[in-house]
Amino acid sequence: MSKIFESERLIVEEIRNGGGKTQVYINKLYADHFPKVRRFIQRNSGSENDAKDIFQEGMMILYKQIMKDKFRGESRIGTYLFSICRYLWYHQLEDRGKTRNFAPDLSELEKQNLIFPYQKILQKQQWSWIDKVFSQLADDCRKILLNALYYQYSMEEIALQMEFENAQIARNKKYKCLKRLRGYLDEHPELKSILRDIVNNPT
């Protein structure tokens, strides 16, 4: 990571490690970079609410890139986030059949090797279904599944974090938890069908 981005290294590391200050840094990212995106979207046929939606989606993408250790700080966070939002807004306008007076400019995204398929954000109702499923799981099950499959920690790291004796025990626990999740869905075929739709087609 270049020296000039050193100040941002902390933010990325804190979010990546899910430390106690994660929310503080997310708040800071929001406050620092939202105004620029809002100005851009409002000058390009968008409303304040459009800007909020696009920025939140952009933040989500950045968050996931950080979590999956794909954001390596080749660009400033603000520059990268703005590029994502511009790219998203470009496609949103296309969906609405509106004229676009700007190019998506993928240079920053390419620099990070982070071209991602354009995908619409999930709706509130869809989130509530997901919430319903995860609330059925015990805390330690939720944690191990997220650590393994979302944050992509190794089994050795998870064993250490969650104080299991070794990686194999962590592996067994993860398997049991996934089985429990599957069992719950099998008992609720309607919910399973809805979630299958969300997973396959989030829009």
DSSP of 135-148, one letter per residue? TTS-HHHHHHHIII
Please say whether the beta carbons of 81 and 20 come within 8 A.
no
Site string for another protein, 60-99 (x = CB under 8 A): x--xx--x--------------------------------
Residues 13, 150, 166, 203: which binds another protein (CB under 8 A)?
Answer: 150
| 39 is a contact residue toward another protein (CB under 8 A) | no
- Token output for 63: 């968050």
**DSSP letter (8 states) at residue 38:** H
| 127 is a contact residue toward another protein (CB under 8 A) | yes
| # residues contacting another protein (CB under 8 A) | 38
Q: How far is the CB of 201 from another protein (least distance, A)?
A: 12
How far, CA to CA in Å, does 196 sit from each of 37, 53, 189, 193, 199? 33, 24, 10, 5, 5
Q: Which residues of 115-132 are buried (b: 16+ CB within 10 A; e: fewer)?
A: eeeeeebbeeebeeeeee
Count of beta carbons in the 10 Å neighbourhood of residue 64: 13
| 145 is a contact residue toward another protein (CB under 8 A) | yes
Nearer to another protein, 20 or 97 (CB): 20
What are the residues binding another protein (CB under 8 A)? 22-23, 26-27, 29-31, 34, 52, 56, 59-60, 63-64, 67, 122, 127, 130-131, 133-134, 142, 145-146, 149-151, 171-172, 175, 178-179, 181-182, 195-196, 198-199
